[in-house]
């Protein structure tokens, strides 16, 4: 859309600076996001990475760029250590479960996609599945093998001393992440990494392919270099991932990309493959790093089972800047839910007139088709929103703008105009909170464990209302106590009229 003249500034981890977004291909934005390794369910920290990538993609669309977004699915090659030691995560899980890797990959891929949907993350243009790209990985490796790699008994290794400035993305002399690694006998440099792992003699893997370096499997870093280059072409615009990838995975990808581009005479700025590398900070638990194995495994489904709408978690993510660490707590999630309820209640007043919604939608699509019209429209509110999002995706500030649009008009139903509704809808196209559809009933806390039905609660509350109207407070209190005993908290004082919620 051209209603946005503000320059989009993004923080590039390569330079550790905010830089104006300057696409490789005019009017386009090509983005690659490191996707999940599908050996287990994603935790909500993992999902923060995709909410961030989604907000980035939506912002690029809002700014008028034609977006091509790729997210990969890693179903082979990711070892239990991000560098070169340990077992393949997929093989390990398959052995523990005595199941086929393909079944495991399919199960967890579907679970991940369910979370993607629940969090209103837009589908990327391409989901690339690592095992679909193995022939291309072998070709890529063949291209760089002679000048940049060497072979050991355990596989083909990339020699990091053959490229300029290895690890500039990580900045620190990060051997920290590597110190846990069992030394691989014969490695020339400590930071060298496997791009092809040979199956040890006498062993078979469920997933293995023939290659010039023997039967085996690709290295995890190789996968992302190949899939990003194949689908988006080098150089592309933006590569995203969690901050942990800034230390090992992405420096290794960059080294391979440099080698590949030099070998193939591609003129890539700094040869890093992508122009901008962006990283979201971690979601942490009070006790420290989020983990799938220790403590309560914080899956999105757990939040849902406890009664929280998944978009409350999206709201929680948006309340923090993506580069800040975010601490998860149930209180924090509750606060995000309340904030979302306020927005949803305000929106629902206006949505109750379907004519307005239709008209607003119609006008918005007219603007999408007509740049001049969009230019003329440019409401002050939308400019303010644009300024916030163009400031390295400042979602906390953008939420305040949205609240101002929706909440500034007192007496909601009477104060709204089509213009307000259009602004709210356009803003939500970027924030993705689903305000067009969410109702307050959707956002009630209702844990899976609750046995009482909503109809029963509603009936009890109606009886209680009658008793109160008749000033029969004894009956009213008795009904309230009965409900409390069944885990229903009656919220008389809630300013938004959230008349009840189910407790844990
Ligand atoms: P994985 O499936 O382990 O490859 O991780 C998927 C994505 O989640 C990667 O981009 C990671 O960098 C990111 N990630 C892992 N843990 C967290 C966390 N606690 N908070 C935010 N992002 C994370
Ligand atoms: Zn990756």
Question: For 365-411, how does the pLDDT look when each residue is reduced to its tens digit (9 = 90+)?
Answer: 998 888 788 777 778 889 999 999 999 999 999 999 999 888 744 44
CA of 365 to the centre of ligand 1 (A): 36
What angle, rounded to 10 degrees, do the helices at 418-431 and 395-407 form?
A: 160
How far is the C-alpha of 362 from the C-alpha of 360, rounded, in Å?
Answer: 5
Q: According to the model, what pLDDT value does residue 172 have?
A: 57
Of 79-83, 112-116, 137-141, 343-347, the range with the lowest mean pLDDT is 79-83
For 102-169, the three-class secondary structure string (H helix, E strand, C coil) is HHHHHHHHHHHHHHHHHCCCCCCCEEEEHHHHHHHHHHHHHHHHHHHEEEECCEEEECHHHCCCCCCC
Q: According to the model, what pLDDT value does residue 83 have?
A: 60
Of 65-69, 249-253, 355-359, the range with the lowest mean pLDDT is 355-359
Name which residue sits closest to atom 14 of ligand 1, judged by CA.
46
Mean pLDDT of the chain: 88
Cβ–ligand 1 distance for 45 under 6 Å, the answer yes
Cβ–ligand 1 distance for 282 under 6 Å, the answer yes
Tokens 């190949």 correspond to what residue? 226
Residue 282 pLDDT more than 80? yes
- Locate the ligand 1 atom nearest the alpha carbon of residue 243 and give its number: 12
Residue 179 pLDDT more than 50? no
What angle, rounded to 10 degrees, do the helices at 249-263 and 220-232 form?
A: 50
Cβ–ligand 1 distance for 48 under 6 Å, the answer yes
What average pLDDT does this structure show over 425-449?
88
Question: For 463-485, how does the pLDDT look when each residue is reduced to its tens digit (9 = 90+)?
Answer: 998 998 999 999 999 998 888 88
Tokens found for residue 322: 């993506």
Among residues of the chain, what percentage have pLDDT more than 70? Answer: 89
Cβ–ligand 1 distance for 283 under 6 Å, the answer yes
Tokens found for residue 460: 């009890």
CA of 290 to the centre of ligand 1 (A): 9
Q: Provide the edge-to-edge strand list for the sheet that holds 326-328.
A: 288-289, 283-285, 326-328
Query: Hey, what domains does the chain have and what are their CATH numbers?
Result: 20-283 (3.40.50.620), 306-442 (1.10.730), 447-502 (no CATH)
Cβ–ligand 1 distance for 40 under 6 Å, the answer no
Of 42, 43, 46, the one to substitute when testing ligand 1's pocket (max ligand atoms within 8 A of C-beta) is: 46
Confidence category of residue 1, pLDDT binned at 50, 70, 90: very low
**With contact defined as beta carbons under 8 Å apart, do 70 and 232 qualify?**
yes
Confidence category of residue 500, pLDDT binned at 50, 70, 90: low
CA of 33 to the centre of ligand 1 (A): 11
Tell me 391's DSSP state.
B
Three-state secondary-structure class, residue 474? helix
Q: List for the chain the helix, strand, coil content (%; round to 5).
A: 45, 15, 40
CA of 252 to the centre of ligand 2 (A): 10
What average pLDDT does this structure show over 116-138?
98
CA of 407 to the centre of ligand 2 (A): 41
CB neighbour burial string for 374-407, b if at least 16 within 10 angstroms, e if fewer: beebbeebbebbbebbbbbbbbeebbebbeebbe
Of 81-95, 345-359, 488-502, the range with the lowest mean pLDDT is 488-502
Residue 123 pLDDT more than 90? yes
Distant-in-sequence, close-in-space partners of 219: CB < 8 Å, separation ≥ 6? 77, 84, 155, 193, 194, 195, 196, 197
Of 66-80, 299-313, 416-430, 437-451, the range with the lowest mean pLDDT is 437-451
How far is the C-alpha of 172 from the C-alpha of 223, rounded, in Å?
Answer: 25
What is the CA 408 to chain-centroid distance, rounded? Answer: 30
How far is the C-alpha of 425 from the C-alpha of 357, rounded, in Å?
Answer: 9
- Locate the ligand 1 atom nearest the alpha carbon of residue 241 and give its number: 10
**With contact defined as beta carbons under 8 Å apart, do 31 and 21 qualify?**
no
Confidence category of residue 128, pLDDT binned at 50, 70, 90: very high
**With contact defined as beta carbons under 8 Å apart, do 118 and 310 qualify?**
yes
């Amino acid at each position: 859309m051209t209603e946005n003249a503000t320059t989009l500034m993004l923080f590039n981890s390569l330079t550790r600076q905010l830089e104006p977004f300057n696409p490789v291909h005019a009017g386009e934005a090509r983005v690659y996001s490191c996707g999940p390794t599908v050996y287990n369910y994603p935790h909500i920290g993992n999902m923060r990475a995709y909410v961030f990538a989604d907000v980035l993609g939506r912002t690029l669309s809002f700014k008028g760029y034609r977006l091509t977004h790729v997210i990969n699915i890693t179903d082979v090659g990711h070892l239990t250590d991000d560098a070169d030691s340990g077992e393949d995560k997929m093989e390990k899980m398959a052995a523990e479960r005595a199941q086929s890797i393909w079944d495991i990959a399919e199960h967890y891929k579907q679970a991940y996609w369910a979370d993607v949907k629940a969090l209103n993350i837009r589908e990327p243009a391409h989901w690339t599945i690592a095992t679909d790209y193995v022939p291309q990985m072998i070709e890529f490796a063949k291209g760089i093998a002679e000048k940049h790699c060497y072979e050991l008994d355990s596989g083909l290794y990339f020699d990091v001393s053959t490229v300029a400035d290895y690890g500039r993305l990580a900045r620190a002399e990060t051997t920290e992440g590597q110190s846990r690694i069992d030394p691989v006998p014969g490695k020339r440099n400590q930071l060298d990494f496997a791009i092809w792992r040979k199956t040890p003699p006498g062993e078979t893997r469920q997933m293995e392919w023939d290659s010039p370096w023997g039967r085996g499997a690709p290295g995890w870093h190789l996968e992302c270099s190949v899939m990003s280059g194949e689908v988006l072409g080098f150089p592309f615009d933006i590569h995203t991932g969690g901050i942990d990838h800034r230390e090992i995975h992405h420096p290794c990808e960059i080294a391979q990309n440099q080698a590949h581009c030099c070998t193939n005479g591609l003129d890539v700025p700094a040869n890093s493959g992508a122009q901008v590398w962006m990283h979201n900070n971690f979601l942490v638990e009070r006790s420290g790093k989020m983990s799938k194995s220790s403590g309560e495994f914080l899956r999105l489904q757990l939040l849902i089972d406890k009664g929280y709408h998944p978009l409350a978690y999206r709201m929680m993510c948006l309340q923090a800047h993506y580069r800040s660490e975010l601490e998860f707590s149930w209180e924090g999630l509750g606060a995000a839910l309340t904030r979302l309820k306020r927005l949803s209640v305000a929106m629902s007043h206006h949505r109750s007139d379907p004519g307005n919604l239709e008209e607003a939608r119609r006008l918005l699509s007219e603007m999408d088709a007509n740049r001049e019209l969009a230019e003329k429209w440019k409401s002050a509110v939308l400019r303010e929103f644009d300024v916030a999002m163009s400031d390295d995706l400042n979602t906390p500030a953008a939420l305040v703008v949205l609240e101002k649009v929706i909440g500034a008009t007192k007496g909601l139903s009477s104060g709204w105009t089509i213009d307000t509704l259009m602004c709210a809808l356009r803003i939500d196209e970027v924030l993705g909170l689903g305000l067009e559809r969410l109702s307050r009933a959707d956002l009630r806390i209702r844990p899976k464990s609750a046995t009482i039905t909503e109809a029963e609660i509603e009936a009890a509350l109606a009886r209680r209302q009658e008793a109160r109207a008749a000033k029969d407070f004894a009956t009213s209190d008795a009904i309230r106590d009965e409900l409390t005993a069944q885990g229903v908290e009656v919220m008389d004082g809630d300013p938004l009229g959230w008349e009840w919620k189910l407790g844990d």
